[in-house]
Structures are given as C-alpha cells and as structure tokens.
C-alpha cells in the first residue's frame, strides 16, 4: 500500500512539475495560457481531450462522494478538481488510499 501511495505521490509531483514548467515557459514562444487555450479549443482532438479531462474529473468526484463520510467534506475535495485537476486527485488518493482500500475490501452482501 505504501509503495502505491508513494508512486501516486511521485506522479502527482511530476505532473505539478510539468504544470510549473508550462507556466514558466509558455510566454517565451507561444503566448499566454489563454492564447494557447484558444488554439487547443479550436482543434478537434483538443476539444476531445478537454472533454475527456473534465469527464474524468467528474468520474473521480463521484468516487470522492461515494467514499467520504460527509457530503460537505466530499464537496470540499471534489470542487477543486475542476481547477487543480489531477494534482488534487493525487493528493486525495495519497491521503485516503488506506481507507479506500479498506472500504473496497468489504463484502458487498451480508453473509447471513
């Protein structure tokens, strides 16, 4: 379990590093974030990628809502996904993975 949590944490940090790199280097050659977003949102695969990304955020938010005990806590974890993306999902997974694994290992139906 700890190896999986570490791997998720490493991938989350790598993604954060890519985001920082893109933010720092984007004005050098290709314009601002909004300039680049305007180009990506006109390309068919750019649109598909953006829709896929946000559908994935929604799917992950469903998992958060199904596993958190409080609706308010779930909303506080799920809402930032739409802005912070999978870096935020990685943080949630690193923190909640032991509890999530415990929940998933329970039998679905009572035995008696």
Neighbours of 60 (CB within 10 A): 19
Residue 74 lies in a domain: yes
Residue 69 lies in a domain: yes
Please, how many CA atoms are within 13 Å of residue 80, restricted to the half-sphere of its CB? 12
Residue 107 lies in a domain: no
Residue 104 lies in a domain: no
pLDDT digits (tens), the chain, 112 positions: 899 999 999 999 999 999 888 888 866 667 788 888 898 999 999 999 999 999 999 999 999 999 999 999 999 999 999 999 999 999 999 999 998 888 888 777 665 5
* Residue 102, pLDDT score: 86
Contact 12, 90 (CB under 8 A): yes
- The residue segments making up the domain with residue 47 are 2-97
Residue 103 lies in a domain: no
User: pTM score, two decimals?
Assistant: 0.83
**Token representation of residue 107:** 């039998």
Q: How many domains does the chain divide into?
A: 1
Residue 82 lies in a domain: yes
Residue 112 lies in a domain: no
Residue 105 lies in a domain: no
* Residue 109, pLDDT score: 61
């Amino acid at each position: 379990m700890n190896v999986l949590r570490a791997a998720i944490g490493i991938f989350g940090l790598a993604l954060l590093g890519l985001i920082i790199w893109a933010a720092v280097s984007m004005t050098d050659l290709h314009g601002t974030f909004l300039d680049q977003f305007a180009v990506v949102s006109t390309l068919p695969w750019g649109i598909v990628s953006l829709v896929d990304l946000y559908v994935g955020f929604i799917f992950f938010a469903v998992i958060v809502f199904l596993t958190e005990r409080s609706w308010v806590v779930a909303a506080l974890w799920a809402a930032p996904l739409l802005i912070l993306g999978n870096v935020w999902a990685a943080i949630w997974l690193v923190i909640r993975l032991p509890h999530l694994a415990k929940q998933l290992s329970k039998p679905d139906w009572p035995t008696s």
